[in-house]
Structure 1
C-alpha cells in the first residue's frame, strides 16, 4: 500500500506542470498573439468590407456625425461629412493602382458609396440594375438650352439612365432622337434672337 501511494504521488508530481513550464506556455501564447496582431495590422489596410478598406471603415465608425448621418439615412449630410473626413480621396488612393482612367476610378468609388449609403453623386444616374452611369453632360446642356428656347418642356433620365425629353405637347422622346433635329448651334442662335426681341 505504501509503495502504491509513493507511485501515485510520483505520478501526480510528474503530471503537474512546474512554474517555469507555465511561464513558457504563457510566453508562447503572448508571442502567438503578437504575431497574429502584427499580421492583422499588416494586412488590415489591404482588406475591404463591401469595397471599403478597413482602416477607412474604422475612421468612419469613430466619427459621430458621419455615423449619425449614415444611420439616419441622411445621404447629403453623410456625403458632405465623408468629404470633410477626406474619405473619398482615401478610397480613391486605395483603388487608384487598379484603374488607369480617373473617370472609371471616380465611377467605381461612387458605385461603392451608392451601394453602401444610397448616395448618388451629382454626375451620375442610377440604372434599373442599380449601377451608376455618368450623366450625359451634352444632354444636360442641350436640354437647358432647348427648354429655355421652348422646344421642350422637361427632360429626365429613365431608370436605365437613358436621357429623355418632353415636348411642349407632352410627347416623350429619347434625347438622341430629338437632339439632331435641334442642334445646339441652332438653339443658341434662336435663344439670342429671343433675348434680342425681349430687349426691344
Structure 2
C-alpha cells in the first residue's frame, strides 16, 4: 500500500485576514502574510468512525458522494466544534443510519487525507468499535447509497474508501489495535 503524501500546500490566493495577495506557504502546514503578519495553520481536522457489528458481521456503508463515490466506508464523519469524539460519532451514526450504537469503545487512530473539491484536508481519524441493536432501516440518502453487513472473513479491503479506515479494519480483523501501546 502506498503511503499518502500528507503535504497540504493549497493554492490559496489571498490572506484570510487582510485580503492581500501575497500569502506565502511555509512547509509543512503554515501560511504567512507579509502585509499584516497573519499566520494561518492548516492543522488536522478531527474525524471519527465506527466499526459496528451485528451478530458478528461488520456494517459498511456505500459512499453516495465524492470523495470515493461507491466505495465502502464506516459510519462517521467530522467532529464539530464543541463536540467530543463520542458525541460526534453518535450524532453521525444517528444521521447516517438512524440508530444509536451500543458499547462504543475507542479502538485506534490514523492520519488520513480527505480531498474534496480540490482541497486536501488532513484529518486524524479516531476509530471506535461498537454494536448495533439491529440492521439499519433507513439511510441518509444525501450521503450514502446503501449498506451491507459483511462477514469478517469475506471483507474485501480493496473496496474500502480510505487508507485510515482500511488500516483500522485490518487491525480489527487481526484482533488488536494498530497502534496499541505495549
State the TM-score bracket (shorter-chain normalisation): under 0.3
Q: TM-score, normalised by structure 1?
A: 0.21
More helix by share: 1
More strand by share: 2
User: Which structure is larger by alpha-carbon Rg, 1 or 2?
Assistant: 1
